[in-house]
C-alpha cells in the first residue's frame, strides 16, 4: 500500500508539472529549479544572478521555504517580481505548490523564472515542477562526500554550482575528489566552481544562464 501511495503521489505531481511546463512554454519563460542544502548559498547566488543579468533578462523568482519570508524580502529588494511559498513543514516544492504561486505572477515580458526550492538534499530532487533545468548548488563547507551520500540530487541535476571556493584554503575539501565522484554519478553534469562572495567563477554561470534563457520565444 505504501509503495502504491508513493507512486500515486508522484504520478499526480508529474501531471501538474506537465501543465506548468506547457504554461511556461506558452509564455516563453525559461525556468530554473534551484536546489541545495540550507546554507549552501541559494539566495545569495540568486542575488548575484539578478545583479549580473538585470540588464539582459527580465526575471521573476518563486521562493520556497518551510517558514518566514526572509529570502523573498531579500530578492524583492532588487525590484524583482517575487512570490513566497511557505510549505508549512514539507521539505520540498511540488508542481501544485508552484502552480499556486504562478497565479500571483504576471508573466508579461518575463524571460527567466528561478524557483528557489526548500533547503534539502533529498526531497526536492524527487518532485518535478515543470522546470527546464534542475540546478544544484553545494558549498565547500558541506564536505566533499556529498555526491555519494546524496546521489539522486546529483543524478537529476544538469548543473552543479560549487560555492564558497574562496574558503578552500581553510576547509578540508578535496575538489578533484568531489568533481570525480559527482561526474561518476552523472557524466553529463556541468560542474562550475564559484564564489558568490568574491565573484570568482560567476561569469561562467551567468553566461550559461543567459544563453539558455534567451533561446525561448513565447
Q: What is the per-residue DSSP string for 65-132?
A: ESS-SHHHHHHHTTT--EEEEE-TT-SS--HHHHHHHHTT---TT--EEEEE--S-SSGGGG---S-S
Residues 213-218: contacts with CB within 8 Å, 24+ apart? 213/30, 213/57, 213/111, 213/112, 214/56, 214/57, 214/111, 215/30, 216/25, 216/28, 216/29, 216/30, 216/111, 217/28, 218/26, 218/27, 218/28, 218/29
Residue pointed to by grid coordinates 505548490: 97
pLDDT, one tens digit per residue, over 103-137 is 999 888 999 999 999 999 999 999 999 999 999 99
Q: Cβ(99)–Cβ(17) under 8 Å? A: no
Q: Locate 163 and state its grid cell.
A: 560555492
Within 10 angstroms of residue 138's Cβ, the number of other Cβ atoms is 28
Structure confidence at residue 107 (pLDDT) = 84
Is the pLDDT confidence value at 9 over 80? no
Average pLDDT over residues 11-25: 95
Residues whose CB is less than 8 angstroms from the CB of residue 9 and which lie 6 or more positions away in sequence, other chains included: none
Q: Is 196 helix (H, G, I), strand (E, B) or coil?
A: coil
Domains belonging to the chain, first-starting first, are 2-213 (3.40.50.300)
Within 10 angstroms of residue 187's Cβ, the number of other Cβ atoms is 7
Structure confidence at residue 1 (pLDDT) = 44
Higher pLDDT, 56 or 214: 56
- Chain-centroid distance, C-alpha 136: 6
Q: Cβ(150)–Cβ(183) under 8 Å? A: no
> At 77, is the pLDDT very low, low, confident or very high (cuts 50, 70, 90)?
very high
pLDDT, one tens digit per residue, over 143-163 is 999 999 999 999 999 999 999
Is the pLDDT confidence value at 3 over 90? no
Amino acid at each position: 500500500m505504501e509503495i502504491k501511495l508513493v507512486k500515486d503521489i508522484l504520478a499526480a505531481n508529474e501531471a501538474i508539472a506537465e501543465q506548468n511546463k506547457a504554461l511556461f512554454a506558452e509564455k516563453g519563460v525559461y525556468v530554473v529549479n534551484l536546489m541545495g542544502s540550507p546554507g549552501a548559498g541559494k539566495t545569495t547566488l540568486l542575488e548575484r544572478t539578478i545583479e549580473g543579468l538585470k540588464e539582459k533578462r527580465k526575471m521573476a523568482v518563486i521562493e520556497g521555504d518551510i517558514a518566514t519570508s526572509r529570502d523573498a524580502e531579500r530578492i524583492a529588494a532588487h525590484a524583482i517580481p517575487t512570490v513566497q511559498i511557505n510549505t508549512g513543514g514539507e521539505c520540498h516544492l511540488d508542481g501544485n505548490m508552484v502552480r499556486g504561486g504562478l497565479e500571483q505572477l504576471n508573466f508579461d515580458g518575463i524571460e527567466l523564472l528561478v524557483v528557489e526550492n526548500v533547503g534539502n538534499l533529498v526531497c526536492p530532487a524527487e518532485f518535478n515542477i515543470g522546470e527546464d533545468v534542475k540546478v544544484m548548488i553545494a558549498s565547500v563547507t558541506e564536505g566533499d562526500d556529498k555526491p555519494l551520500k546524496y546521489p539522486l540530487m546529483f543524478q537529476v541535476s544538469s548543473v552543479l554550482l560549487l560555492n564558497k571556493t574562496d574558503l578552500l584554503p581553510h576547509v578540508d575539501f578535496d575538489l578533484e575528489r568531489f568533481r570525480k565522484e559527482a561526474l561518476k554519478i552523472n557524466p553529463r553534469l556541468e560542474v562550475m566552481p564559484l564564489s558568490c562572495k568574491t565573484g570568482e567563477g560567476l561569469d561562467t554561470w551567468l553566461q550559461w544562464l543567459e544563453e539558455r534563457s534567451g533561446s525561448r520565444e513565447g
